[in-house]
Chains A and B, each alone.
Chain A
């Protein structure tokens, strides 16, 4: 077996060029180009049907692109791509488990595939403990009797077998309770920080993603929209100023004229992406509007997401 190429933090480990995927005439992914660097913890953000799962399926070799090229860990051809996929683990939509087997047997299948030596000497037990399911090691029930949350954890434990360098998880917190979500978040952070595992996580719970992702990839209607680091997002997303005046309609009008992103929500005017609140307040006072109150809030990832995908 050839020696696998080594990568340092910051090196591009996955590169996709002009990826498109068509399903029965429907373009699920349209000309997506992106690079994933070693060490990143990426939040893959998009609405339902945006193409997140399709992108993950292409990156993991489960589906073929209609056009475009993918390179995983520097692969230059299909054979290398197949070999290098052994460095990738993924959980797509739902864990791929043999329903008739126990959780330990399922992990055993992953150990066989990844050529783990002596997996019953604590290796499998460690993985169960890592995902908060220590009792599953001796559980004789087939996984078909497990709850959705337990299956998700078994799926994550399976993904960890073979110590992958890249983990791609599609909605990994589906079906988990808040405590479970917190545990998975901490687990992913731990894998990323301590073991240097590059992680791509798609999730609908954007507030959850914002708690651990180091960068985000936004896709919408099959198109790559933007890749942004968490730091850039923070500065770019800015703040929202909520003001109340004696004439909100006029306030919105003058703010829009002054190139502010203003909208009326209930009895207030929301001014998005502001740098300095004083600028907004100046515009209001210059236009002889009575300021009844104001408050400043941080713009959330959800707000930014809505902005970039044009959902407003």
Chain B
């Protein structure tokens, strides 16, 4: 496995798409940091907009893709205000997962898996080594975006936390930790799914298409489940808790029992929303459900991908 990891990292260094997407994401981080530091945008928030408290901006950026919109919400319920820009990053990172399908797709296209098998490597080792590298790809995207965004934002004098957040010294650290954990889990799930589809469908673009389609299907499956549940299968309502679409909807509806939101009327131009504030103790089951469901999807996809690769004849 050590040799395989060494090989994959060696390959990664030579992968142009990886560096191109890495550069785009890095550039996006810089641009985002600059945008947040922009006087006009900051003036929209009379309480002082921060890097972590830019839900409105993030939601606009994320609007193009409901999936990342939901992810932004997931983070927002527990975070110190994470979501806006992280959501923007999530969307970028989401599309950035194209590197994973291209990376594994090359092995199929150029039939190089056989070199690894003939070096005495088991298919299981091959799968998990590439999965590790794919997780690194996903997390490297996260790291580069966050770092460049924070550094650029700081250079423009944007504070990390609002005075109100800093006053919440009891929960600040734990909320931040939970937020980061959730991000990690979501990324784990997405990287696992992208890797799995890359092994199930031995074609870069085919697996990429199916991966994105499956993400959207997962998001919108809530409507199907909801429809069935309303036809006297009420037990299915429970299942909804584990679907990203429901998790998203629950948050986007600003479940008033658990969270409140604040917004600023832009006078005919819509609203700028700020993060919902959770009521202590209410968010825990939601966090656990989110973590559990994401880990479940990750494990299920890994099993499927692994099973497919173990059984498949290679060219």
- Which residues of A does B touch, CB under 8 Å? 57, 60-64, 79, 82-90, 92, 94, 96-101, 105, 108-110, 112-115, 158, 162
Q: Tell me, in angstroms, the Cα distance from A101 to B115 when the chains sit together.
A: 15
Query: Do residues B313 and A85 form an inter-chain contact, with CB atoms below 8 A?
Result: no
The CA-CA distance from A178 to B4 in the complex, in Å, is: 38
Contacts of A94 in B (CB 8 A): 111
Contacts A98-B110, A112-B6, A115-B3 given: A60-B117 contact, CB under 8 Å? yes
Kindly identify which residue among B16, B122, B313 contacts A64, using a CB–CB cutoff of 8 Å: B313
Choice from B112, B120, B313, B315 contacting A86 with Cβ under 8 Å: B120
Whole-angstrom CA separation of A115 from B5 in the bound complex: 12
Which residue of B4, B110, B311, B314 is within 8 Å of A99 (Cβ)? B110
Q: Which residues of A have CB within 8 Å of B112?
A: 96-98, 109
B121 touches A96 (CB 8 A): no
| B110 & A113 in contact (Cβ 8 Å cutoff) | no
Q: Which chain A residue has the least Cβ–Cβ distance from B314?
A: A62
**Given A113-B121, A114-B119, A62–B313 Cβ distance below 8 Å?**
yes
Q: Is B116 an interface residue (CB 8 A)?
A: yes
Q: Identify the closest chain A residue to B115 (Cβ).
A: A96
Contact at A100–B10, with CB atoms within 8 Å? no
A96 to B314, CA, bound (A): 12
- The verdict on B11 contacting chain A, using a C-beta distance below 8 Å, is yes
Residues on B facing A (Cβ under 8 Å):
3-4, 6-7, 10-11, 14-16, 106, 110-122, 311, 313-315
What are 16 A-B pairs at a CB distance below 8 A?
A57-B314, A63-B313, A64-B311, A82-B122, A88-B118, A90-B114, A96-B114, A97-B112, A98-B14, A101-B14, A109-B7, A112-B6, A112-B7, A113-B119, A158-B115, A162-B119
CB distance from B220 to the nearest CB of A (A): 34
Report the bound CA distance from A86 to B125 in whole Å.
Answer: 14
A10 vs B42: C-alpha distance in the bound complex, in angstroms? 81
Contact between chains at A98 and B106 (CB < 8 Å) = yes
Q: Judging by beta carbons under 8 Å apart, are B117 and A112 in contact?
A: no
Q: CB-CB < 8 A to A108: which residues of B?
A: 10
Q: How far is the CA of A50 from the CA of B198 in the complex (A)?
A: 32
**Assembled-state Cα–Cα distance A108/B7 (Å):** 9
A84 to B121, CA, bound (A): 10
In the bound assembly, the distance between CA atoms of A92 and B111 in angstroms comes to 10
Apart from A98-B112, A115-B3, 20 more pairs, CB < 8 Å: A57-B314, A61-B117, A61-B118, A79-B122, A83-B120, A86-B120, A87-B120, A88-B118, A94-B111, A96-B112, A97-B110, A98-B14, A98-B106, A98-B110, A100-B14, A105-B14, A113-B3, A113-B7, A113-B116, A158-B115
A60 near B118 with CB under 8 A, answer yes
Q: Which residues of A contact B6 (CB under 8 A)?
A: 112
Q: How far is the CA of A88 from the CA of B120 in the complex (A)?
A: 9
Contact A100 B15 (CB under 8 A): yes
CB distance B115 to A110 under 8 Å?
Answer: yes
**A60 to B111 Cα, complex, angstroms:** 13
- Inside 8 A of A89's CB, which chain B residues have their CB? 118
B234 shortest CB reach to chain A, Å? 45
Bound-state CA distance A88–B271 (Å) is: 66
B120: which A residues are within 8 A, CB to CB? 82-87
- Kindly provide the distance from the CB of B6 to the nearest chain A CB, expressed in whole angstroms: 5
Least CB distance from B108 to A in Å reads 11
Can you name the residue of chain A whose Cβ is closest to the Cβ of B310?
A: A64
CA distance A109 to B16 in the complex (A): 17
Does A63 lie within 8 Å of B3, measured CB to CB?
no
Q: Return chain B residues, CB-CB under 8 Å to A97.
A: 110, 112
Q: How far is the CB of A202 from chain B (nearest CB, A)?
A: 16
Complex formed: what's the CA distance from A62 to B7 in Å? 19
Given contacts A64-B313, A113-B3, A113-B7, contact A86 B14 (CB under 8 A): no
Which residues of the partner chain A approach B315 to less than 8 Å between Cβ atoms? 62
* Residue of chain A at shortest CB distance from B120: A86
- Known A62-B114, A63-B313, A90-B114; contact A98-B11, beta-carbon cutoff 8 A: yes
Report the separation of the CA atoms of residues A110 and B311 in the bound assembly, to the nearest whole angstrom. Answer: 25
The smallest beta-carbon distance between A222 and chain B, in angstroms, is 16
On chain A, the residues within 8 Å of B110 by CB distance are 96-99
CB neighbours of B115 from chain A (8 A) = 96, 109-110, 113, 158
How far, in angstroms, from A105 to B7 measured CA to CA in the complex?
Answer: 11
The answer for the CA separation of A92 and B114 in the assembled complex, in Å, is: 9
Q: B107 to nearest A CB, angstroms?
A: 9
Q: Which residues of B contact A79 (CB under 8 A)?
A: 122
Task: Tell which of A84, A87, A109 touches B10, judged by Cβ atoms closer than 8 Å.
Answer: A109
Docked complex Cα distance between A203 and B111 (Å): 21
Complex: A79 Cα to B121 Cα, angstroms: 10
Which of A84, A85, A162 is the most central at the interface, judged by chain B CB atoms within 10 Å of its CB? Answer: A85
Select the residue from A87, A97, A98 with max chain B CB neighbours within 10 A. A98
Neighbouring A residues of B4 by C-beta, 8 Å = 113
